[in-house]
Structure 1
Amino acid sequence: MSEIKVLVIEDEPTLARLLSYNLTLEGYETTVVDHGSQGLHTALHHHFDLIILDIMLPGMNGFEVLTKLRQAGGKTPVIILTARNAEEEVVQGLKCGADDYITKPFGVAELLARASAVLRRTSNDGLPLGLEPSRDEKVITLGELSIYPERYEVTLHNELIPLRPKEFEVLLHLVQRPGTVITRDDLMNAVWGFDYIGGQRTVDVHVSSLRKKLEMNQQSVQIDSIRGVGYKLMVQKNK
């Protein structure tokens, strides 16, 4: 198996060294770039399996790098590094096409876990995801929608729906009470925790993205908005 390649775009020397050292120790082949424009050029002209992207960069900030990368057709998964309690950065990063985010300061264990999770999700394109689950594996099925909590995977009409971790957790919380209105506060507490400082806009952004992925070209699964309250998941039964 070829070595997994990670591009780190980070201009703070100490943090860049920390990221490079621990990723390399974990077995990843790591490239570090300390400038936004150079990072974009490197990402577009070389193959990487994962990009870890800081928001505050010289030359071109992380949002610009990510936007231009996606506009150019780059599909490499991206984890953005954001400041603590900077909800606007998280929201904007997700809208630009980030796959996940980590807030500073963060622990090495969290970084490696998130990198592994993103790589595991995004490397499934060539795997036979349609295989039957093992006997012991939990599967939640609603109509043509199947949720695999242990894998953080979702299939709709037997096709994999790529979700970010928080999108998956929002969906998991909704499917446990189909047809029931779940308040934004309930989703915030269940997915982000009671001590999360950010506002409800984070919930709305994740639900909006989740809705687009589930409802694209089909109407069997819908997430309805209840103005001023929250959301409910509706599954249309086959006629």
Structure 2
Amino acid sequence: MTPKILVIEDEPTLARLLSYNLTQDGYEVKVVEHGGEGFQLAMQQAHDLIILDLMLPGMNGFEILTKLRQKGVRTPVIILTARNAEEEVVQGLKHGADDYMTKPFGVAELLARVSAVLRRTKSDELMSDDLAKSNDKVIIIGDLYVYPEKYEVILHNTSISLRPKEFEVLLYLAQRPGFVVSRDDLMNIVWGFDYFGGQRTVDVHVSSLRKKLEMSQQSVQIESIRGVGYKLIVQNQVKRVTE
């Protein structure tokens, strides 16, 4: 089945460039110029990928991304941002973007990033299917309960809402409590070897994850190891339980 890509971009020249090259590469492409219209289309129709500009009329990219994630739309999103706009990149990742591209960009980079995100999404879906067929398991760390196959986290008997990549970072650390995990390892395991983003992506997700775990500082902490990576510090021994 031909992958469907929704492009939300109001700059005519760039919109045509995206549409032409993606179509030539075998994708089915729909281009929308207005933010509000793009949001409605993303809600009403299924797409395999959304390419989203941040500066849009009607509703900006951050608003679109936030509302989509709040409503449970997990379609992968690549945001488009101005070169050297690091704050936009950070905010985009915090809002749930899967990748980003800085303008101007080359066609080869565009197609490579699109292909990489779609491959990662397919891999995640296959992994989720495999997990769903397995028995329920839980990793217990102090007051923290991590359910790998359900993508659920319980802290102090309260469900903690994590984005998929935040959960995967936490899971990888939880499987190695007390051991230092490098940023490169987290990048490769969670985002894949073909991910184009830098280590800043890892730092942004860890920072967001820390804030959501703050209520259990005495039980679970993510410690930074300068120049190396992170490790999960726990007060109680990790237990693995199969139900």
Q: TM-score, normalised by structure 2?
A: 0.62
Distance 1:50 1:118, change over 3 A: same
Give how far 1:230 is off: 6.9
The aligned runs of 1:10-49 (5 Å cut-off) are 10-49=9-48
The one-letter code of the counterpart of 2:231 is: L
Of structures 1 and 2, the one with the larger relative CO (CA 8 A, separation 6+) is 2
Identity of aligned residues (%): 64
1:53-93 deviation per Cα after TM superposition (whole angstroms, max 9, x unaligned): 00011111100111111122211111000111111101111
CA distance in 1, matches of 2:80, 2:116: 16
Aligned positions, number: 195
2:86 is equivalent to residue 81 of structure 1: no
Q: Is the 8 A contact 1:7 1:31 kept in 2?
A: yes
User: What secondary structure sits across from 1:15 in the alignment?
Assistant: helix
Q: Helix, strand or coil for the counterpart of 1:39?
A: helix
In structure 2, give the amino acid aligned to 1:102: M
SS at 2:116 equivalent = helix
Q: Is the Cα–Cα contact under 8 Å of residues 223 and 232 in structure 1 kept in the other structure?
A: no
Give matches, 1:93-132, under 5 Å.
93-127=92-126
Q: Give unmatched runs, 5+ long, in structure 2.
A: 131-138, 140-145, 152-163, 187-197, 214-219
- What is the TM-score normalised by the length of structure 1? 0.63
Contact (CA 8 Å) 2:222, 2:230: kept in 1 or not?
A: yes
> Structure 2 vs 1, CA of residues 73 and 130 (structure 1 numbering), >3 Å: closer, same or farther?
closer
Shift of 1:128: 5.8
Checking the alignment, whether the CA contact within 8 Å between 2:6 and 2:49 is kept in structure 1 is yes
Answer yes or no: is 1:225 the counterpart of 2:220: no
Could you tell me which runs of 5 or more consecutive residues in structure 1 were left unpaired when the two chains were aligned.
132-143, 145-155, 188-197, 216-221
How many angstroms apart in 2 are the aligned matches of 1:130 and 1:52?
26
Computed over aligned residues only, the root mean square deviation of the Cα atoms, in angstroms, reads: 4.3
CA deviation after TM superposition for structure 1 residue 211, in Å = 6.9
Q: Distance in 2 between the 1:125 and 1:181 partners?
A: 21
Stretches of 4+ moved more than 6 A in 1?
210-213, 227-230, 235-239
Q: Deviations over 1:110-168 (max 9, x none)?
A: 1111111111111235426798xxxxxxxxxxxx9xxxxxxxxxxx997598549xx98
- Give secondary structure in 2 for the equivalent of 1:123: helix
Q: CA deviation at 1:229?
A: 7.2
* 1:1-239 alignment runs, 5 A limit: 2-127=1-126, 159=149, 163=165, 179-180=179-180, 204-208=203-207, 224-226=222-224, 231-234=229-232
